[in-house]
Amino acid sequence: LRDCIQKTLNEWSSQISPDLVREFPDVLECTVSHAVEKINPDEREEMKVSAKLFIVGSNSSSSMRNAVDMACSVLGVAQLDSVIIASPPIEDGVNLSLEHLQPYWEELENLVQSKKIIAIGTSDLDKTQLEQLYQWAQVKPNSNQVNLASCCVMPPDLTAFAKQFDIQLLTHNDPKELLSEASFQEALQESIPDIQAQEWVPLWLLRYSVIVKSRGIIKSKGYILQAKRRG
């Protein structure tokens, strides 16, 4: 991920005027166009577009719509087939509760109702957390990712609950913190030396995959990241 950020920033900064780097307008879109492949509308039915959304900064859940809109725009599609949300950041020593998840899940439900997403899922919820979310939610989670590092075998109570309510259990090996603020700022400073890197904080990170349904192969994948300058 850090390599992706640096490569994109290096290539982007080499193509723009030095004045832009120094002055920096309110919104900077750092894209390397040849690295992104839009989906051919004629092939859309054959593709499954899935995403996992990581909330990095302690920002509002409303940025989730921004992330989904940006992913749709980048890939040239009207909607994403599935979005999984990684557990939102919470303070050390605090257990993730339904209250932490509710604002994010409500925003995902709104995106399902407005047909921007077809299915929504969760990550790293145990049986109790998944059951509480399932009972409360209007749009039910259709999947839950379990970290391979935390368990080699799926917990029996989680497996039984998922089977009863037709929730797909998936595995992942993402670290707990995919991108820290410090790591992002280091990548920024190394790529664009003139920038005041400590002023910039990452807000969210979306990883997408475009999969050919009939063959089960990944056609393309990538990251979309949003950061803001401390005002």
Q: What tens digit of pLDDT does each residue of 118-173 get? A: 999 999 999 999 999 999 999 999 999 999 877 667 889 999 999 999 999 999 99
Reply yes or no on whether the pLDDT at 58 is more than 70: no
Domain assignment present for residue 136? The answer is no
Domain assignment present for residue 46? The answer is yes
Mean pLDDT of 89-115: 91
Percent of the chain residues past pLDDT 70, beyond the cut:
93
| Structural domain harbouring 23 | 1-103+115-122+177-229
Give me the pLDDT at residue 93, please: 81
Asked if 219 contacts 212 with a C-beta cutoff of 8 angstroms, the reply is yes
Give me the pLDDT at residue 84, please: 97
Reply yes or no on whether the pLDDT at 222 is more than 80: yes
Domain assignment present for residue 148? The answer is no
C-alpha pair distances (Å), 70 with each of 92, 143, 186, 205, 211: 31, 23, 25, 11, 19
Reply yes or no on whether the pLDDT at 17 is more than 80: no
Domain assignment present for residue 4? The answer is yes
Which pLDDT band, with edges at 50, 70 and 90, does 14 fall under?
confident
Q: Model pTM?
A: 0.91
Reply yes or no on whether the pLDDT at 25 is more than 70: no
Reply yes or no on whether the pLDDT at 92 is more than 70: yes
Domain assignment present for residue 133? The answer is no
Give me the pLDDT at residue 153, please: 79
Which pLDDT band, with edges at 50, 70 and 90, does 15 fall under?
confident
Mean pLDDT of 86-94: 82
Domain assignment present for residue 140? The answer is no
Domain count for the chain: 1
Domain assignment present for residue 165? The answer is no
Give me the pLDDT at residue 80, please: 98
Quick one: CA dihedral 30, 36, 42, 45, positive or negative? negative
C-alpha pair distances (Å), 161 with each of 97, 144, 156, 167, 191: 18, 11, 9, 8, 47
Count of positions (residues) in the chain:
231
Question: To the nearest whole number, what is the mean pLDDT of the chain?
Answer: 89
Question: 60: how many CB neighbours lie within 10 A of its CB?
Answer: 12
Domain assignment present for residue 153? The answer is no
Q: Which residue has the higher pLDDT, 154 or 211?
A: 211
